A and B are shown apart, each in its own frame.
Chain A
């Protein structure tokens, strides 16, 4: 009997959170987009029938995570969690449409704490199932992405349009795309420049004892300045500089806007890149370097053919950390007029419009996850065969 039971603690945690989520408010009905709203429970908001479906799906997850063994378990868990994800949002979208028909025109229906918890719980279960499906890559991808893909399809078909979040977006589609583009531009360029400066700095610090301390001193110090302060600090000197050198103004560099944001983001991306380049080069076995030199490789050949390929995975790992970090930090750039998705976050904060904040936040999280996944692939690609890795 024990053989047939296999408890999956991560999936169990997800299921318990999922079940608990039904006790919180699932929808919030507001008289207008800024007003305080009244929370509606799962059954009041979605109706008893729908509520029962969601509770049953979560109960199924709970039972699955406590029982069963083998490959079928993570597959069933993953499928169920994806169903919870799609079903609860679809039901919320339809319920919102229903509510808006009877409520006054200015009313808004937002997603409540409960449904956000359910989404989080579903992804905890999906994560648990992913981990168990390493030998079945097809199922792993299906479990990871199907729910998200269906949700995107629902959004494009307008089935979630009655939710306040989508209403915020629908009024601003052009702006949204523009800021999304600006966000990608800002962090992409800054990490690129950060790498172009940081990797040589790391190499220099590794090569020269005298360079090591000042390089890390500066890189560490900049990392301790709060991001908001750094963005602010750059404004004044940069303004002064553009006053002194008018040609800088002509090519579009000002005290506020893209230029200072890029400078700050580059500065932040330096530490992880410099540190990882330095450590990557230093962890190369001295015996290997000695052998290379002793066999007649020049310093450059030892660097190019031995040190660099062996350090590459850690360097790429540094760029990955810097990238993910930059996606988040770029949000703050909106405060000094550089735009990006932070624009919606801060506008939402200023207007006390929570759904607008979420409209800015969700794509930032998505971007961070995508960048992380892409960079992990790159790290794997630059890891030479025969060394560690998998």
Chain B
């Protein structure tokens, strides 16, 4: 548990952080967010004593960190920053091994840990271990940055816009990967960002800051449905209902899809489709192959003749996805329902536009 108590930081006459108190529960992701200059990064950097507060205290597990030697404190706190800050003269493996080396780990244990972490962030140790940071793409570098922060398995992780310096698509991928890793590792994470979608996607709690002050500290759901004041209301924007959708998984809304098998006869397919305009087609294992239009059935002799082949990648969403993704896929494809598949791309059902609408209305209330 991290306890920030009445933190103040003055730079000359400007007050960067103003009487900030905050409690971060162990194992949760706390996202500090706010417009630039609101003091969020300053707050983060006070937690590992890169910046000393002008007044106030920070307790980690009830111990005042001002009593701990800064280097020792930092060795037990993972640190990942936007510009990544990988050491350009060290290989990826050496970069990740920095903290274990500072802690005098055995060589064997260190190299094992490096491999484990590279796999965890989805990089092949054999391929990437010996590369230099200059040879990595932005996304790969940020993943190495996260792996490096996790190297000595610290209970706390401080992240300053860790997915900031990459393109939106890569950023989203990194966020999902991080969410998956966090689910597994249950670190206490304090993450600074200015991207509200990132906060909503990752946070257990969001701390909204403005001009050095904490404005609202709550779960994403509450912040979206009950903004504390006009500042938060404006900050989360008029599309907060839409944003809420990215907190809701599709799994609760999946309905049976009534698919047909590619091996079925035309008459059987016609019977299944009935009055519906179309039906999803699966193979013997239940994997999604595409769809069939009712009107095309008339001249067909077999299902494969009229199959509109499409991969799950293109038309389906995974069952771990959110309603937000389901909605954007529907809007993008111009359809009223999308198929939901499991990890093996087997069709498990579909989500329809009306379900998404219902969820929106529910949360507005």
Give the B-binding residues of A (Cβ under 8 A).
285, 287-298, 301, 305-306, 309-310, 384-387
Given known pairs A294-B50, A295-B79, A297-B102, the reply for A386 and B88 (CB within 8 Å) is yes
Pick the contact of B71 from A297, A310, A384, A385 — CB < 8 Å? A297
Of all chain B residues, which has the CB nearest A299?
B71
A288–B148 touching, CB < 8 Å: no
Given known pairs A290-B81, A301-B102, the reply for A296 and B89 (CB within 8 Å) is no
- With A and B bound together, what is the CA distance between A292 and B87 in angstroms? 8
- With A and B bound together, what is the CA distance between A290 and B158 in angstroms? 13
Pick the contact of B83 from A287, A296, A384, A387 — CB < 8 Å? A287
- With A and B bound together, what is the CA distance between A309 and B132 in angstroms? 15
CB-defined A-B contacts under 8 Å, sample of 21: A285-B83, A285-B85, A285-B88, A287-B81, A287-B84, A291-B79, A291-B81, A292-B87, A294-B79, A295-B98, A295-B102, A295-B148, A296-B71, A296-B76, A297-B102, A306-B87, A310-B89, A386-B133, A386-B135, A387-B88, A387-B134
Of all chain A residues, which has the CB nearest B99?
A295
B243 CB to closest chain A CB (Å) equals 30
For the complex, is B91 an interface residue (Cβ under 8 Å from A)?
yes
A386–B132 touching, CB < 8 Å: yes
Contacting A at CB under 8 A, from B41-87, are: 45, 48, 50, 71-76, 79, 81, 83-87
For the complex, is B90 an interface residue (Cβ under 8 Å from A)?
yes
A310–B88 touching, CB < 8 Å: yes
Give the A-binding residues of B (Cβ under 8 A).
45, 48, 50, 71-76, 79, 81, 83-91, 98-99, 102, 132-135, 148-149, 158
Residues on A with beta carbons closer than 8 Å to the beta carbon of B99? 295-296
B71–A288 touching, CB < 8 Å: no
Of all chain B residues, which has the CB nearest A291?
B85
Residues on B with beta carbons closer than 8 Å to the beta carbon of A309? 89
Residues on A with beta carbons closer than 8 Å to the beta carbon of B48? 294
A288–B102 touching, CB < 8 Å: no
- With A and B bound together, what is the CA distance between A210 and B335 in angstroms? 68
- With A and B bound together, what is the CA distance between A294 and B88 in angstroms? 17
- With A and B bound together, what is the CA distance between A280 and B72 in angstroms? 29
- With A and B bound together, what is the CA distance between A309 and B89 in angstroms? 8
Residues on B with beta carbons closer than 8 Å to the beta carbon of A295? 74-75, 79, 98-99, 102, 148-149
A296–B75 touching, CB < 8 Å: yes
B132–A385 touching, CB < 8 Å: yes
B166 CB to closest chain A CB (Å) equals 15
Residues on B with beta carbons closer than 8 Å to the beta carbon of A384? 88-89
- With A and B bound together, what is the CA distance between A301 and B99 in angstroms? 12
- With A and B bound together, what is the CA distance between A147 and B74 in angstroms? 61
Residues on A with beta carbons closer than 8 Å to the beta carbon of B83? 285, 287
- With A and B bound together, what is the CA distance between A52 and B50 in angstroms? 77
A386–B89 touching, CB < 8 Å: yes
A387–B85 touching, CB < 8 Å: no
Residues on A with beta carbons closer than 8 Å to the beta carbon of B149? 295
- With A and B bound together, what is the CA distance between A387 and B90 in angstroms? 9
- With A and B bound together, what is the CA distance between A290 and B132 in angstroms? 19
B72 CB to closest chain A CB (Å) equals 7
Residues on B with beta carbons closer than 8 Å to the beta carbon of A297? 71, 98, 102
Of all chain A residues, which has the CB nearest B78?
A295
- With A and B bound together, what is the CA distance between A175 and B102 in angstroms? 57
**Nearest 8 Cβ contacts at the A-B interface:** A291-B85, A386-B132, A384-B89, A296-B74, A296-B75, A287-B83, A294-B79, A287-B85
- With A and B bound together, what is the CA distance between A297 and B45 in angstroms? 15
- With A and B bound together, what is the CA distance between A103 and B134 in angstroms? 70
B50 CB to closest chain A CB (Å) equals 6
